[in-house]
A and B are shown apart, each in its own frame.
Chain A
Amino acid sequence: MPVLTIDDRRIEVEQGATILDAAARLGIRIPTLCHRQGLEPWASCMVCVVSVRGPDGNSRLVPSCASRAEEGMIVETDTEDVRRARRLAVELLLSDHLGDCIAPCQQACPARMDIPRMIRSIRSGDFTAAVETVREAIPLPGVLGRICSAPCEKACRRGRYDSPLSILLLKRFVADADLASASPYAPPAAPSLGRKVAVVGSGPAGLSAAYYLLKAGAAVAVFDGNDLPGGMLRYGVPEDRLPRDVLAAETDVIRRMGCDFRMRLRLGSDLSLDELRADYDAVFLALGETVPSAGIPDGLETDEHGIRVDRKTFQTGIDGVFAGGDCVRPIRMAVHSVAQGRTAAFSIVNYLAGGCPAGRHTPFSTHIGRLLEGEIDNFLLEGDPRERVLPAGGASAGLSRDEAVSESARCLHCDCRRQDDCRLRSLAEETGAKGRLYRYSLGEGVPERRVFRQDASHPDVIYEPGKCIACGICVRIAEKALERFGLAFVGRGFDVQVRGALDRSMRDALEKTAGECADACPTGAIVLRSPVPAPRHRDSSER
């Protein structure tokens, strides 16, 4: 039985065990993509490389999944060379991996709302799940469902075919249905943090921050010089665009969550920043658009736009004081202010917990970008071909329930079905890989990337060859299960693809093992059709 050393620790393993097995025995985690317990090792992805020092003192990189543990071997799993090789392997795989981790609509949304998920909930009739998803990112959906300029719709892929999904109206439908229900949705509150936060200003940024701070368990008081909360939403947006009862209903949700609204108190004349800092553990300034330096409390640094803040954490130069919305940089787009309020709340919660504010981390994502000629046709496989549903009662009435469900069926499902548990994505994160380091550009007429295709023939799974990293797990699963046709590697070299044997569709190729293949696929290449989505109890764009 060979005895070897891994990262300076000795281990004895049975004859024939691999280095990967031996490392697992020691609790040393080595990342893999093409490896699966129960299948013969294949050694294609190469992210499991480790360094093996030979008798001559030179080290070489070997794939640990397929390399036999041998007597006296000296293995290192975390050297600079190993890390570089793993990162490069991931970067190379990413350079040839065609897919959007998150959909273009969500990518375009300043609040990164998980739009496709909301749409799928509507489609399945689960409006509670829909409002939960919406409120993960947008605490004022009824408001924004009316006044948002909807950058998401401009990015919607469906718009390249006929017209984009009616995302704005769908969101409004979800919010209205919820507010009209007996018990409108409020997020479950986290255990109390025992900390108090003062929010100055009750516009979209302030309300948003208050909502997410409350949700995280902070005690929140909102100060505003006006009679009623809403800021510019109340005093800047015409009433015919935003009926005030909608605004009131959504501020009521925040009030019910425990928010202490202190109206008719103006910073400067009625309150001072120093007092607030003394009374509260943190302060969030959402003062609305300010003429530079006018209305900004003394002691805060400013720049040409307004209060100077750290762009990631929204922290000002004063400890414990944060700022967001138009007082930082006037954008006059409510959804931006809402997004900043939420990010600031996240950062404040971190500050309260550890004293050190951390900005939100933008997870690694790949993007298809502009579509090639004809690609849109392949996306359409997943969408109802009918044209956009227009509300029968006119734009001011919004979509009815049936109209919303019917419109939601037009969604093309551009987002990746494995975005939460894609092993390639998490390895990109782990290795610090850069997604766009290696791009192709081979002359004119040669596409710089794979062409988007999807095989939707199978009742249970969808196959997107663009996302395939040729790990061969599905090929081996089908082979082992003696599928009648199975999957085959087709072609060779850079152009190698996994396809149904003898040109069969996925339906015929995977008669028995579709579910197993989808489960084992390290990316979103073979993936179960989206079931009714379960509520996602975490910030959808945070990891």
Chain B
Amino acid sequence: MDMGMTGENIDVTAVERIVAETGRTQDALVPLLQAVQEEYGYLPREALEHIAKITGIPPAAITGVATFYDEFRHKPIGRHVISVCHGTACHVKGAPVLSESLAGYLKIPEGEDTDPSGLFTIRKVGCLGCCSLAPVAQIDDVIYGHLTPEKLPSVLQDFLAQADAISVQRSGDVIPQGRAGEVRICLDSCCVARGTERVHQALLRAISETGARVVVKRVGCVIVCNETPLLEVLVPGEAPYLYARVRPEDVKAIILRHFRPTGVRRVIGSAVSRTLDAILTDEAWEPVTRYSITARDPQVAAVLDPQKHIATEDYGCADPTDLQEYVAAGGFTAFENSVTHSQPSEVIEEIMASGLRGRGGAGFPTGRKWAGVAAAASGVKYVVCNGDEGDPGAFMDRMLLESFPYRVIEGMAIAAFTVGARRSYIYIRSEYPFAVKRVREALERCRSAGFLGDNIFGSGMCLDISVMKGAGAFVCGEETALLASIEGRRSTPRVRPPYPSESGLWGRPTLVNNVETLAVVPWILRNGAAAFRRLGTPGSSGTKVFALAGKTVRGGLIEVPMGITVDKIVNDIGGGIAGGRVFKAVLIGGPSGGCLPAGLADTVIDYDALSEAGAIMGSGGLVVLDDSDCMVDIARYFLEFTQNQSCGKCTFCRIGTRQMLDILTRLCSGEGRSGDLEKLEDLARMVSAGSLCGLGKTAPTPVLSTLRYFRGEYEAHLEGRCPAGRCKALVTYSITDDCIGCTRCAQHCPADAIEMKPYEKHEIDAARCIRCGTCLSVCAFNAVKVE
């Protein structure tokens, strides 16, 4: 990223190269802009002008698209980007306070996102997909978890120290492909004092056990002494990875993660990769926990596991990109059998018989959709896999794409065979660069192996699949918006019908299916519709993958048979509510979904049962709330998300959601007016009834469902009370007589609202207090009271 450039004089030769590599038609526009931003760090106006000049793409289209997606910037970016996750889990664990404190600490002016020195740019991001580390922030490539406002200074210091260290080394230190990797370990005095020597021994042992091609280097002090023991791993051809606070028992897992073991050791390697995930999410790492960008949530495994793995079959033991392994386990047999032994109509029959319904949320019968596209009279058809999973707090699709890319590809290939498509797209949201990379790799291997390309299995079938990387817009999850995005236009939805099955990409019949839907297709064909149907309920067969997050003891991805009760998910799989608190409600379906109160925990996971209860199946976000969570705040949070993600086309969604948000914001800040609840409810019903697309139609659901089950909480807010003590403006912090005057709160208060008075009872200045909760968390004497 070159920071020396200004808007006035950029070198546009890079634009010419990018256009030559990417294409000059409108469907190349999003990738073009992505590449330009990659080059300059933002979209300089001159670059956009130049694109218009040399491609002939209309300027209005360029401006429209360049300003539609969250990913595109129009101002230079800071040297480092801090992405603060505002996913659901992070929200309930304090992301708003975190963002506010961070902006304050960096002295970022109101309305700006970059600090005056141009060092850091702060972004709010939807969900980084690390919900069990919440709240998290990602600084460049490093994820920091379990953050609190008082940790921020040390996190930034840590990052800068590390960034400096790396930037000094970076230029010369990327090891070329083909050479042995390197692990660097500091053995200076402070490191040795903190146990680095034992880590060093473990490292040498691990290398000899795994046979990895790795050279161990002792290096000088790496500056971040408070983070030692510290390992830096250099994989040939890649930027260095840095691991902090490494324990001897972690070392082997780290080595296995980066260096493929040889021969029989491979098996061990795969098994251990799950152990590593567990280590990476260990909450015990204090005060600063840094994770490599590859740190993600692990699968949850309970002792008595009621889960059933279909989409996630073989989880934890398969190497995601190993095509041979996938084939050895029966992969692509369903595709081959379909192509060589079946008629498309037979495949459709089987899918229909399985009762599979769309896993993207709406639950439309998949077989019927396939039949519709198959029947459409057109020589050109498309299959599109919708991987624009955008619900904050949901990351099922990311996991499926990263861990089981071949399964999704096989599902798509079967779909393409069935409907008669030769060209297909996997649309993956931009926040999932790893998934993009992995799926591209997987596609390349499939082409080499003959599973994609011309004359597949000698049958004459031709198919190619390409990846389209999104650019940050939740509305792309709506199928007509998604197709507009692939075509290189602003992704605004349109009225259906015509449905994409009749008129989709470039006006051609197009099958749009969700990732999870496609991922279970090979299983159904291999094991038979009946086997699938045996799972679940009459109306909802098979399994569903959920991202379990929030206040349970365990969180992460789960795959459960339909028909399981919410209670079983929360208590048996999630291990109940953490911290001795009381189970209050679950939110199912993210910002388009609703809540189920604890009293209805015997509701089963079933499309119709959930919708009857005012929630939806959704794409699989499942957030558990306890008694410290405020339902009005939750509704406001979700609405803020959808309001922010509205495409702005239709009046009800563009302005209606804003008006609803306004009322909710008033309620949460104690400024509710009489009549607000009626007005909110009325707006919610009308926005839901009148909006153009699913985003607008479902945006009011969290509001309506919390109003349905927790109206009392809304009424309390109207009276200026927040029963859960969550809404900042409605609570006050005070210090009780239990205070012994240890000064800890005063030292940690980021707002200087507590004067330091050793051995005296402290006091909180309510006018200065920003209600961040730091004093409460640092007080060892339970002397901070919240009312």
Contact = CB atoms under 8 A, between A and B. Distances in A.
Interface residues of B, number: 47
A63 B495 contact: yes
Interface in B27-84: 45, 48-49, 52, 58-64, 67-69
Contacts of B654: 470, 493-494, 496
Contact of B646 (A43, A81, A490, A494): A494
Contacts of A493: 643-648, 654
Interface stretch (A87-95, A173-181, A203-211, A326-334): A87-95
Contact of A89 (B490, B648, B651): B651
A490 to B, nearest CB: 5
Interface in A462-502: 469-470, 475, 478-479, 482-496, 499, 501-502
A253 interface: no
Contacts of A312: none
Given A61-B690, A95-B655, A502 B59 contact: yes
Interface in B709-732: none
B447 interface: no
B49 A92 contact: no
Contacts of B271: none
B108 interface: no
A279 B177 CA distance: 112
Contacts of A475: 60
Contacts of A41: 495
A44 interface: yes
B260 to A, nearest CB: 43
A46 to B, nearest CB: 5
A43 B647 CA distance: 13
B62 A502 contact: yes
Given A67-B495, A95-B655, A492 B67 contact: yes
A92 B655 contact: yes
A47 B665 CA distance: 27
Interface in B662-682: 662, 665-666, 669, 671
Interface stretch (A99-107, A435-443, A519-527): A435-443
A265 B15 CA distance: 91
A504 B48 CA distance: 13
B595 interface: no
Contact of A92 (B498, B656, B669): B656
Contact of B495 (A62, A440, A486, A489): A62
Given A43-B495, A89-B651, A488 B63 contact: yes
A85 B59 contact: no
Secondary structure of the B side of the interface? helix
B579 interface: no
Nearest to B689: A61
B67 A88 contact: no
Contacts of B92: none
A489 B490 contact: yes
B508 interface: no
Contacts of B498: 68
Given A492-B473, A503-B45, A479 B650 contact: no
Interface residues on A, range: 35 or more
Contacts of A132: none
A285 B671 CA distance: 51
Contact of B63 (A68, A88, A490): A490
Interface string A13-53: 00000000000000000000000000001111111010000
A475 B64 CA distance: 10
Contacts of A84: 686
A251 B48 CA distance: 68
A66 interface: yes
Most buried by A among B67, B646, B654: B654
Nearest to A484: B59
Nearest to B661: A442
A442 B659 contact: no
B458 interface: no
A486 B686 contact: no
B692 interface: yes
Interface string A41-82: 111111101000000000011110011101000000000010
Given A92-B656, A442-B665, A492-B67, A502 B58 contact: no
A478 B60 CA distance: 9
B628 to A, nearest CB: 24
Given A44-B649, A485-B59, A496-B648, A88 B686 contact: yes
A488 B67 CA distance: 10
A146 to B, nearest CB: 48
A354 interface: no
A415 interface: no
Contact of A441 (B63, B110, B494, B662): B662
Given A88-B686, A491-B67, A486 B494 contact: no
A489 B64 contact: yes
29 contacts: A43-B650, A43-B692, A49-B690, A63-B495, A70-B497, A81-B689, A84-B686, A88-B652, A88-B690, A92-B659, A95-B659, A469-B651, A478-B60, A482-B58, A486-B60, A489-B648, A492-B67, A492-B647, A493-B645, A493-B646, A494-B655, A494-B657, A494-B658, A496-B648, A499-B63, A501-B58, A501-B64, A502-B45, A504-B59
Interface of A: 41-47, 49, 60-63, 66-68, 70, 81, 84-85, 88-89, 92-93, 95-96, 438, 440-443, 445, 469-470, 475, 478-479, 482-496, 499, 501-504
Interface of B: 45, 48-49, 52, 58-64, 67-69, 110, 473, 490, 494-495, 497-498, 643-652, 654-659, 662, 665-666, 669, 671, 683, 686, 689-690, 692
